[in-house]
């Protein structure tokens, strides 16, 4: 039985999620289920499944990526920054453009402009000339010295 079917059966009134249910599924299956839940607007269940997936598979790229996106959806910038930073560290030199763009945006929203600019530069070193990162870099640079001192104590 698919994870989404199990969750929907368990989500009926009078039923509780059984412990160990989610452990039977791989990180990929959990990520795919979360994506399905989000597209059907069952976001509360998607968030709960994301939290469970992260608890079970804290080092999985699939789980870090989807829970980072869920944190962005919730506008929970510190959590998004933490998860996407961990994802970028795991991906290393193979970090895809999307991870860099999402991390830069999370850092900007978390008012960490200097770090966002540094990540944009790092991303452009791996993905030279990519328009999304170039646009982010230019926007951050247009902030002038504020971007360089945004994280200094006041």
Q: pLDDT tens digit string along 47-96?
A: 989 999 999 999 999 999 999 999 999 999 999 999 999 999 999 999 99
Residues 67 and 90 in one domain: no
Residues 51 and 95 in one domain: no
Say yes or no to pLDDT of 153 above 50.
Answer: no
Residues 106 and 53 in one domain: no
Distance between terminal CA atoms of the chain? 55
Task: Tell me which residue range forms the domain holding 95.
Answer: 80-154
Residues 64 and 85 in one domain: no
pTM over 0.95: no
Residues 102 and 59 in one domain: no
Total domains in the fold of the chain: 2
Residues 19 and 47 in one domain: yes
* pLDDT value for 82: 98
Structure tokens at 118: 């540094």
Tell me the pLDDT of the chain averaged across its residues: 87
DSSP state of 42: -
Residues 97 and 143 in one domain: yes
CB 23 within 8 A of CB 56: yes
């Amino acid at each position: 039985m698919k994870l989404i079917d199990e969750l929907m059966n368990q989500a009926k009134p009078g039923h509780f999620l059984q412990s160990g249910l989610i452990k039977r599924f791989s990180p990929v299956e959990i990520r795919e289920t979360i994506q399905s839940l989000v597209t059907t607007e069952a976001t509360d269940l998607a968030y709960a499944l994301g939290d469970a997936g992260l608890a079970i598979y804290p080092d999985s790229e699939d789980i870090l990526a989807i829970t980072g996106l869920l944190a962005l959806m919730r506008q929970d910038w510190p959590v998004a920054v933490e998860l996407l930073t961990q994802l970028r560290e795991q991906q290393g030199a193979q970090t895809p453009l999307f991870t860099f763009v999402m991390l830069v945006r999370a850092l900007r929203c978390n008012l960490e402009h200097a770090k966002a600019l540094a990540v944009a530069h790092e991303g452009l070193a791996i993905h030279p000339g990519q328009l999304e990162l170039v646009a982010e870099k230019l926007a951050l640079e247009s902030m002038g010295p504020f971007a360089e001192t945004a994280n200094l104590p006041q």
